[in-house]
Amino acid sequence: MDKTAHKKSINDFGKFGLVNHLTKDVRTGNKTTITGIGDDSAVVDSGNNLTLVSTDLLLEGIHFNLIYTPLKHLGYKAVIRAISDIYAMNGTPGQVMIALGISSKFKLDQVEDLYEGISLACEKYHVDLVGGDITSSLTGMTIGVTSIGTAGKNNIIKRNGARPNDLICVTGDFGASFMGLQLLERERKLFVKDKVTQPDLSGFEYVIKRQLKPEIPVSTLIDLKKEEIIPTSMIDVTDGLASDLLHICKLSGTCCRIFYSKVPIDYETTRLAEEFNIDPMTPALNGGEDFELLFTVPLEMVEKIKLVPSVKVIGHMTTSGSGNYIVGDDGSEVEITAQGWKE
C-alpha cells in the first residue's frame, strides 16, 4: 500500500472509498458465509434457507436532529432503515435488535416514545424485537439497529446481477424525504431566530411524512412475485438514487442511462424545490432516505413490468465503459455522479 496514504485525513476519501480501502483485503473463509461486505445485508447459509443480517448506526446530529424529529418517529424510522436492507435482497425480515446509547439528559418518557415507535414499526412489518441493550453515553443519542431475515436459497437478489440492456426500475418517487428535511431545517432556523414563529408545514404533509415516517414498498415485492418477475439486481434507495444506481453498476460491471423525464418526483417535492431555488432533480438524484426499491429486470420483461402499476422504468443498463448518464428531453447527456463516490 502507498505509505503516504496513511497520513491522509479520512475526509480525503469518499464514504465508499474509505470502506473499500479498509476492507479490500478482507477475505471470507467460513463455508456459511455466502455474501460479505458490499451488499444490503450479509448472507449466511443456515441449512435449508439463507439468513440475512443487516446492521446500521444512527448518530444524533448526523442521522437525526431531535429538535424536529419526534422520538416516536425516530424509533419507527430506525426499524424501517434496518428491515429495508432485508427487503432489498428479496428477503423477509423476522427480527430486529436495538442497541441504544443515551446520555442522562433524556427522560424516561422520551425513551418510551422511541420504543413506542420501534414497536409500531415492528407490528406493521411483522418483525419481532429480540434485543434491546441500553448503555449510557457522554453526549446525545446513538442507535444501533440490527435486522435479521430469511430468504429461500434461490430467491435472493443481490446488487451484482444487472446485465447490459436490463431495464432500470424504481418504486415510488424521489427527493421528497430530502426536501422534507430542508423544510424542517428552515422552520427550525426561523424558530431559533424569533422564538415565536410557529412552523408552517401546511401543504407539505407528504414530504414531511417521507422524512419522518417512511414506509417500505412491500406490496411491489408481492406484485413482482405474482407476475413472476425476478429482478436481476436490487437495492433500497437510502444514499440517493444516483449513488445507489452507481452501486449496482459498479458491482454488476455495467454502466447506465436513465431519462430525466422518467425519474418520478412528487408535486410537493417539485414545488418546494422551486421555493428553495433548486432543480428538483438534485434532491431526486442525491437526496437519499427515499426507502424506495431500485432494481433491474431483463429487457424481455418490458411488457410484463407494465402490469405492476407501482413500478416505473427510468432507463436501462449499458455495457461497461460507456459511462453513466442522465439523458435530457433534448437528448443532452449529463454524467451521473454521487456523493461519497470519491475514491
- Contact between 6 and 13 (Cβ < 8 Å): no
Between CA 275 and CA 257 the distance in angstroms is 29
Q: Report the distance separating Cα 309 and Cα 223, nearest Å.
A: 9
Strand partners, 169: 295, 313
Binding to a copy of itself by residue 251, rule CB under 8 A? no
Q: How far apart are alpha carbons 241 and 264 in whole angstroms? A: 11
- Measured between alpha carbons, how far is residue 164 from residues 232, 250, 302, 303 in Å? 11, 12, 14, 18
Is there binding between residue 144 and a copy of itself (CB under 8 A)?
yes
Q: For a copy of itself, what does the binding mask look like between residues 27 and 66, x meaning CB under 8 A? A: xxxx-xx-xxx----x-x-xxxx-x-xxxxx-xxxxx---
Q: What is each CA distance from 105 to 74, 108, 109, 137, in whole angstroms?
A: 17, 10, 12, 10
Comparison of 133 and 200: residue with beta carbon closer to a copy of itself = 133
From the list 17-25, 157-165, 193-201, 223-231, the region that binds a copy of itself by CB under 8 A is 17-25
CA distance 323 to 256: 7
CB of 215 to a copy of itself, least distance (A): 20
120-139 binders of a copy of itself (CB under 8 A): 126-139
**Contact in structure between 299 and 316 (CB atoms under 8 Å):** yes
Q: How far is the CB of 289 from a copy of itself (least distance, A)?
A: 13
Contacts of residue 29, Cβ cutoff 8 Å, sequence gap at least 6 = none
CA distance 205 to 215: 15
Q: Which of 66, 69, 70, 115 binds a copy of itself (CB under 8 A)?
A: 115
**Cell reading at 321:** 465503459
What is the smallest separation between the CB atom of 99 and a copy of itself, expressed in angstroms? Answer: 4
User: Does the footprint of a copy of itself cover residue 101 (CB under 8 A)?
Assistant: yes
Considering the rule CB under 8 A, would residue 11 count as an interface residue with a copy of itself? yes
| Residue 244 and residue 296 in contact, taking contact as beta carbons nearer than 8 Å | no
**Cα-flanking dihedrals φ and ψ of residue 152, to 5°?**
-65, 155
Q: Verify binding: residue 152, a copy of itself, rule CB under 8 A.
A: no
Q: Which residue number, 146 or 165, has a Cβ lying nearer to a copy of itself?
A: 146
Q: Choose, by CB under 8 A, the member of 112, 205, 274, 279 that binds a copy of itself.
A: 112
Nearest residue (CB) to a copy of itself, 44 versus 327: 44
Find the farthest-apart pair of alpha carbons in the chain and give their distance in angstroms, rounded: 62
Residue closer to a copy of itself (CB basis): 62 or 334: 62
Q: What is the C-alpha to C-alpha distance for residues 41 and 158, in angstroms, rounded to an integer?
A: 9
90 binds a copy of itself (CB under 8 A): no
| CA–CA distance, 208 with 71 (Å, rounded to integer) | 15
Residue 104 within binding range of a copy of itself, rule CB under 8 A: yes
CB of 232 to a copy of itself, least distance (A): 23
Identified binder of a copy of itself from the candidate list 69, 120, 124, 150, rule CB under 8 A = 150
Which residue in 66, 69, 70, 119 binds a copy of itself (CB under 8 A)?
119
Q: Is 243 near a copy of itself (CB under 8 A)?
A: no
CB of 233 to a copy of itself, least distance (A): 19
Q: Which of 22, 192, 222, 334 binds a copy of itself (CB under 8 A)?
A: 22
218 touching a copy of itself, by CB under 8 A: no
Question: Toward a copy of itself, which CB reaches closer, 26 or 196?
Answer: 26
Is the Cβ–Cβ distance between 171 and 292 less than 8 Å? yes
